[in-house]
Amino acid sequence: MTEERQSRQGGREATIAPDDDGIRLDRWFRRHHPAVTHGLLEKLLRKGEVRLDGKRARAADRVIAGQAVRLPPQVIHARAPESAALPAAAKPMGSLADRILYMDKHVIVLDKPPGLATQGGSGLSKHVDGMLDSLKFERGTRPKLVHRLDRDTSGVLLVARTAQSASGLAEALRHRDASKVYWALVAGVPPQKHGIIKAALAKEGGHGPHGRDERMAVSQEDDAKFALTEYAVMGTAGSEFTWVAARPVTGRTHQIRVHLASLGTPIVGDFKYGGADVRGRGDIADRLHLHARSIDIGRPDGGRLQVTAPLPPHMVKSWQLLGFDPDDRRDPFPAKKKSRPGSEAVAQRKTRPASDSMARKKKR
């Protein structure tokens, strides 16, 4: 049970209970103060009004049993909306609230779990798009998907809270005013520590029911679509496995999966594109090891939105087994700042010399 007492600075102070040891600070607030919205919590953290052991904290920080959380009056007097006041057992099934990484009046950023499809399709009864009613909150407006992730890919997923925000975020993606970084575990070692893969992609027909065997492939046919991915080696485990960060400049279906496989380094667990069978390799799960780690995108109201998603459990186990740091904060694609009128400094990718890993298709 969480204990609370009066704080000398006003408000109250709560002690982290053993049952809450190791969870994220924002998750702790959802458990014990459900009336505090994610937006309010972020605001209080930025102002330093919510603190851990007297120090500034972030929503993603992990709490430790025995730590003291300062609760300002805004937390104590927050009023719960009817949906938040329901006990856990009474809440509607299919809520995405526990997967929120960030939320403001324009956008919600979700941490999509692996195995959950973004949109519906043949034989799919559960998907993110079908669960968005659970994210209406006080607005009463159904949010809209801005982009999608493959079913077995986890991580950062943008959801717009208004039609105007959806249009603005989609425009930022369309004009490449966004940088998405993915983490992957691949079999083997890529030819370069930093490289650029330029390889056009085309769809190959599938023979299974509902096109289930359909896949993308590197192609030089006229109907192939240009695709470019930048990658960086973050760590290696001998010559058997490599931790790769990938930044897709274009957004083609299965782009990262096909491009990494084209180097002879398929993603672990990606059997559609030649992923190695890792059964019997300890804690390395026989599942897709591809995670949308972070996004940096122009906000609808100006400035930048930067969000990072933690690795899913099966990838954390693999990282720990191979001696990699699942909380690594290195920037694999350093950028230089460029000012834009009416907004804060916007990150622009540095031009880095690198030979192409694959040849771009020839124009006829």
360: DSSP letter: P
Conformational region of residue 323, where left means phi above 0, alpha means psi within -120 to 50, and beta covers everything else: left
Residue given tokens 């993606």 in the structure block: 173
Separation CA 352–CA 331 (nearest Å) = 14
pLDDT at residue 159 greater than cutoff 90: yes
Alpha helices, DSSP H, located in the chain: 25-32, 38-47, 73-76, 82-85, 163-174, 255-262, 313-322
Give the residue extent of every domain in the chain. 3-86, 97-349
At residue 342, does pLDDT exceed 70?
no
pLDDT, residue 8, reads: 53
Reported as a single tens digit per residue, the pLDDT across 82-107 is: 433 333 333 333 468 889 999 988 99
pLDDT-above-90 percentage for the chain: 49
Q: Which residues of 140-169 are buried (b: 16+ CB within 10 A; e: fewer)?
A: eeebbbbbbbbbbbbbbbbbbbbeebbebb
- Percentage of the chain surpassing pLDDT 70? 78
Pairwise CA distance, residues 237 & 189, whole Å:
9
Distant-in-sequence, close-in-space partners of 30: CB < 8 Å, separation ≥ 6: 97, 98
Just give the CATH number of 3-86: 3.10.290.10
Give me the catalytic one of 20, 150, 270, 296: 150
**First CA to last CA across the chain, in angstroms?**
70
Here the tokens at position 274 are 């030649």
Same topology between domain 3-86 and domain 97-349: no
- Angle (CA) 190-191-193 rounded to 5° is 75
Q: Are 180 and 248 in contact (CB under 8 A)?
A: yes
Residue 345, pLDDT > 80, answer no
- ∠ CA 136-162-99, nearest 5°, is 45
Task: Judge whether 150 counts as a catalytic residue.
Answer: yes
How far is Cα 161 from Cα 170, in angstroms, rounded to an integer? 13
User: pLDDT by residue (tens digit) across 281-304?
Assistant: 777 888 999 999 999 998 888 889
CB 86 within 8 A of CB 95: no
Predicted confidence at residue 32, as pLDDT, reads: 82
Distance (Å, whole) CA 61 – CA 59: 6
Alpha helices in 72-162 (DSSP H): 73-76, 82-85
What is the arithmetic mean of pLDDT over 165-178?
Answer: 90
Give the pLDDT of residue 358.
38
| Contact predicate 255/248, CB 8 Å | yes
Q: What is the distance between the alpha carbons of residues 157 and 108, in angstroms, rounded to a whole number?
A: 8
Average pLDDT along the chain:
81
For position 87, what pLDDT does the model report? Answer: 38
Pick the CATH number of 97-349 from 1.10.10.1100, 3.90.1150.10, 1.10.150.20, 3.30.2350.10: 3.30.2350.10
Helix (H, G, I), strand (E, B) or coil at 208: coil
The pLDDT of residue 271 is 87
